[in-house]
Amino acid sequence: MDTIPTNKGPHWILLLSMFLVFQCSQLEIKKPSLFQFLFLSASPTSVGVVTSDFASGGRFKTFEPNSFTAFPTSIPIHSDAVGRYSNDRVFIVNRLNRDSIQVLNPQFGFLTEQEFSVGQGKNPQDIAVWNDKYFISLYNADELVIYSRSSGIKIGAVSFSSLRETFSTSGIPDSSVESSYMIQDGSSLFVLLQRLDRNDASGYLPPNSDSYLVEVDMDLNQIRNIYTLPYRNPSSKIQKVFLFGEPHLVFSCVGRVGFISQIDAGIIAFRLSTRQFHPNRLYEESVAGGDILSFQIKNEDFGYASVLDAGFNKTIQVFRPRTGEKLATLLQIPGNIGISLSGMLLTSEGKLLVGSTDFTRPGIYVYDTNIGNVLLNPIPSSVELTPFDIFQLQNLP
């Protein structure tokens, strides 16, 4: 379902600009001017926010954490989506029931310049861009699909069929490998495979098989290596972090989570130079007291984790990756209150953003990690709908 960007020509922009400038001069509009309000869609320090009403649809917004400002740009997206910034574009991964990739152009107010389907029911999870190819992970499949950047047409795939789980408590293993988040390092693409048991009698998709980190050669479109995770069910985005003197891939494994929660995993690090996992967890569930759903790491001394315990209490905790110790709790929401935490980002300026899904007052909390993790806005800043995913509008190294 490729879309072609609408081209109305430059003349309408010129005419509208001249009209707005005339109106602004007549009305003596001060900061921000009407012209700025209509055309400014982001600042150099703004971030991207995927928001949702968890029903009919969502919106892509841009948010400036220094001024707590949500810009007027509001791009319609799916109600279940995540975002990524790469190659000077915003990629919206519209997940189950829309099953598409939506490409937004920041140079033109984040308008949608391309959208294509990855197949009904495939449930895409993440996207990586390499030369003229898109690599897309699918939750409901046993392959990593490859699409043309120019046409949005499938041009190949990397088969994961040999990595299907071979055990199920029901005796009937399923055919999906639950590919989730990915990250690039040179020509290597690292893909997380959860390998959950969809046919388990509990109905909660437990991790009855080992989970994998698969390294894919993006030039040759084939598997380069497979690494068995020391803990199961990776659930967070992968971060590339400089730790212990060199770069590591860091992500959180939750093991058994939610209604079948157990203290059985934590945040782990994968050393790129040796292709080996760090012997110690950076933060253990036993220390956090629950499942670590998402996290951000500032350096070896400060990390931030969103934790859900067995009583469905939600907390934002500060921990020390170097030693694995808990340092503080920034935010705590009791399990009997209908508020969840979704979306977390530590900006390059040191602002920690946490999304609150309070349906009466949804928004983003902003903490300043440079001055003792101070909460700057006791009332979360609105981004129109409920924030679901927050990400930098910068190309990752």
Task: Enter the tokens of residue 269.
Answer: 């690090």
8 A C-beta contact, residue 65 and residue 351: yes
Residues ≥6 apart with Cβ < 8 Å to 210? 195, 228, 229, 232
Task: Name the percent of the chain lying above pLDDT 70.
Answer: 90
Lowest mean pLDDT, pick from 16-20, 59-63, 303-307: 16-20
- Domain ranges for the chain: 9-39
3-state helix, strand, coil in the chain (%, to 5): 10, 45, 45
pLDDT digits (tens, 9 = 90+) for 227-278: 999 999 999 999 999 999 999 999 999 999 999 999 999 999 999 999 999 9
> Which of 62, 59, 58 lies closest to 39 in space, CA to CA?
62
pLDDT digits (tens, 9 = 90+) for 270-325: 999 999 999 999 999 999 999 999 999 999 999 999 999 999 999 999 999 999 99
Lowest mean pLDDT, pick from 27-31, 65-69, 103-107, 373-377: 27-31
**pLDDT the model gives residue 397:** 79
Phi, psi (deg, nearest 5) at residue 25: -70, -35
pLDDT digits (tens, 9 = 90+) for 112-168: 999 999 999 999 999 999 999 999 999 999 999 999 999 999 999 999 999 999 999
The torsion defined by the Cα of 72, 77, 83 and 89, in degrees rounded to 10, comes to: -70
Task: Enter the tokens of residue 21.
Answer: 């400038």
**pLDDT the model gives residue 33:** 47
DSSP helix/strand/coil, 275: coil
**pLDDT the model gives residue 40:** 60
**pLDDT the model gives residue 37:** 41
8 A C-beta contact, residue 339 and residue 331: no
The whole-number average pLDDT for the span 374-379 is 97
**pLDDT the model gives residue 162:** 98
The Cα–Cα gap between 335 and 357 comes to 13
Lowest mean pLDDT, pick from 221-225, 341-345, 355-359, 377-381: 355-359
pTM of the entire structure? 0.90
